[in-house]
Structure 1
Amino acid sequence: MNRISRPQAVLRGVVLGLGALVFLFPFYYMVVGALQKDPDPTLAGAFPNPANLTFDNFVNVNERINLGTGLINSGIFTGGVLLCTVIFGVLVGYALAMLKWRGARATFALALLVQVIPFQLLQIPLYVLIARDYGLADTHVGMILPFAINSTAVIIFRQYFLQLPKELFEAARIDGAGEIRLLWSVALPLVRPALVTAVLLTFIGPWNEFLWPFLITKDAALQPLAVSLANYISTVAASTDNPFGAILAGAVVLAAPVVVLFIVFQRYFVSNDLGSGVKG
C-alpha cells in the first residue's frame, strides 16, 4: 500500500478543512442571524457583537405559529413515514433478495422505474384519490399514505440482503426456521447499518416536505413545521420588527433535528456488521 508523505497529508488536511468550513458556514450564519436583535445581512454580521444577541426572534415566531405544535405535527408525519418505510422496505427487500418467485425481476425493475418519475407528476391524482375518494384530507394518515412505500429503501434493503452469507439461511432452514423467523432473527441483526441508513435518508424527505402537506391540510393545527413556516414567511414575517431574524429562527428550529440526527448516527454510514455473522 502506498503511504502518503507528510506534506501530502498536511495539504489534504488543509483542503478538507477548508471544504468543511465552506460547507458549515451557511449553517453558522443561519444560527447567528437567528440570534441577532438588529439584522446585519453583510459579511460582518457573521461575527456579531454579543450585546446584539437575543432569543427574541424565536419568541416572536413562536407567538405566531407555535413551533411546538409544528414540531409535533412534523414528528407524527415523519415518524409514520419512517415506520411504513422500514416495515414495507424490509419485507419487500427481503422477498426480492432471498425468495424465488415469479415476477421478482419485474417488481425490482418497477422499483427502479419509480425513481425517475417526479413525485410532482403524481400529486394531482393522489390528491383526488386521497382527499375525494378516501376522505382523508386534513388528517395525518392522508399526509403519510403517499410516502408509505419508499422505493429507495426497498433497493437499499435488497442490496444489503444480497450480501448476506447464504449458508446462514440454509443452516437455519435445515433447523426448521420459517421465513419470518429468518428475517427477524438472522437477517435484521446483520443489516443494522441498512436500517439506520434507510431511516436517515428517508427522514429528510418528509421532515422538509412542503407541497403535499400544504395541499392535503387546510387546518393550521395539523400542518407540519415546514408548511407553517412557509405560511409565516409569506403572510406575517414582513410585519415583524426583524423579519430576517424571525425567518432564520424558524429555519434553525426546522433544521436542528436533522443536524442532530446526522451527528449522532453518522458512524452507521461506514459501519459494517456482516462479518460478525460468519465464524472463521
Structure 2
Amino acid sequence: MSRFQTVLRAIVLTIGALAFLFPFYYMIIGSLQTEPNPTPAGAFPDPSNLTLDNYTQINERIDLLQGLVNSGIFTGGVILGTIVFGVLAGYALAVLQWRGRGVTFALALLVQVVPFQLLMIPLYVMIARDFGLADNYLGMILPFAINSTAVIIFRQYFLQVPKELFDAARIDGANEFRVLTRIALPLVRPALLTVVLLTFIGPWNEFLWPFLITKEAALQPLAVSLANYISNVAATASNPFGAVLAGAVVLAVPAVVLFIVFQRYFTSTNIGSGVKG
C-alpha cells in the first residue's frame, strides 16, 4: 500500500476505535460525577465534579464485593462445565467412531435454534421443585454447564488435528484419555481460550435465570443485584444516574480485563507441524 493508503487506514481505524470506546469512557466519567450532566459537555467534566461517592453510595445499598464473588462462582462453574463436557463431547464427535455420531452432532446443531427462554419454565420446575436447588450456586450453574456451541468449536478443532498423531499415540500404548490430554488438547489451545472468553460473557451478564432461581440477596450475582437496585432504591440516591453507572463499571471491568489479558493469545497454531510431510 502507498503511504496515503496507510495513513488513511490508520485514521479510519482510529476513528472507529474511538467511536467504539466512547460509551465505555462515558460510563466511567458518569460514574465519577457528583452532579449528573446529561449534556454533551458532560463527557468532559470539570475535575472538581469528579468523586468516588457514587461507588460508596451503591456499595452501601448492595455489597459490590459479594456480588462480584457470586458472579465469579457462577461464571467459573459454567466455564468449568463447558470446558470439561465440551472437550469430551467434541473429541468423541470428531475422533471416535461410534454408531449415532452423526445424529448426535445434528442434535447439537439443532439445540442452537432453540431459545433458552423456551426452556426456562421446565428448567425452573425441574431444578427448583424436583432437585431442590433454588437459592443454590449449583442451581444457577446446571442449565449452562453444557454448551452446544463449545462442543461444535472443539469438534471442528479436533477434526483439524492429523489422525496420524492419534494413531501413533495409540500404537505406543496410550489410551483415549491420555491421547486427549497429552496429544489433542495442547494442539487446540486457541479453542480453549476462545471458548473461555465466549462462555465468560454469557453467565457474567446473565440476569433472568439467576433472578428466577435465587431469592436470597447474598447469593445473587452482581447483574441481579444491580437490577434490583435500579428497580427499588436507585431513586433515593443523591445521584441515581451516577450510582447506576458506578455499578455498571464494576460489572464491566472484569470482562474488559479478561479480554485485555488473553487477547494476545488469539493466534492460530500450526497443528500440522507435528507430522512430517
TM, length-normalised to structure 2: 0.98
Report the residue type matching 1:167 in the other structure. Answer: E
Matched residue, 1:271: 268
| Equivalent residue for 1:98, pick from 95, 98, 121 | 95
Report the residue type matching 2:13 in the other structure. Answer: L
Write out aligned runs for 1:213-232 (5 A): 213-232=210-229
SS of 2:204's equivalent in the other structure is: helix
Provide, for residues 185-208 of structure 1, a one-character-per-residue CA deviation record: whole Å limited to 9, x for no partner.
000111111001000000000000
Matched residue, 2:53: 56
| Equivalent residue for 1:175, pick from 172, 177, 184 | 172
Contact 1:190/1:277 (8 A) holds in 2 = no
Matched residue, 1:26: 23
**Partners in 1 of 2:270 and 2:59 — Cα distance?**
44
Deviation at 1:273, TM superposition (A): 4.8
Identity among equivalent pairs (%)? 77
Report the residue type matching 2:72 in the other structure. Answer: G
TM, length-normalised to structure 1: 0.97
Write out aligned runs for 1:43-192 (5 A): 43-192=40-189
Contact 2:164/2:275 (8 A) holds in 1 = no
Deviation at 1:116, TM superposition (A): 0.8
Instruction: Mark the runs of 5 or more structure 2 residues left unpaired by the alignment.
Output: none
Residue 211 (structure 2) pairs with residue 206 (structure 1): no
SS of 2:173's equivalent in the other structure is: coil
Deviation at 1:141, TM superposition (A): 0.4
**Partners in 1 of 2:110 and 2:69 — Cα distance?**
34
Report the residue type matching 1:47 in the other structure. Answer: F
**Partners in 2 of 1:202 and 1:183 — Cα distance?**
22
Contact 2:162/2:272 (8 A) holds in 1 = no
Contact 2:91/2:158 (8 A) holds in 1 = yes
SS of 1:233's equivalent in the other structure is: helix
Matched residue, 2:36: 39
Provide, for residues 71-92 of structure 1, a one-character-per-residue CA deviation record: whole Å limited to 9, x for no partner.
0000000000000000000000
CA RMSD of aligned residues (A): 1.0
Contact 1:169/1:182 (8 A) holds in 2 = yes
**Partners in 2 of 1:28 and 1:190 — Cα distance?**
38
**Partners in 2 of 1:271 and 1:52 — Cα distance?**
47
Deviation at 1:41, TM superposition (A): 1.4
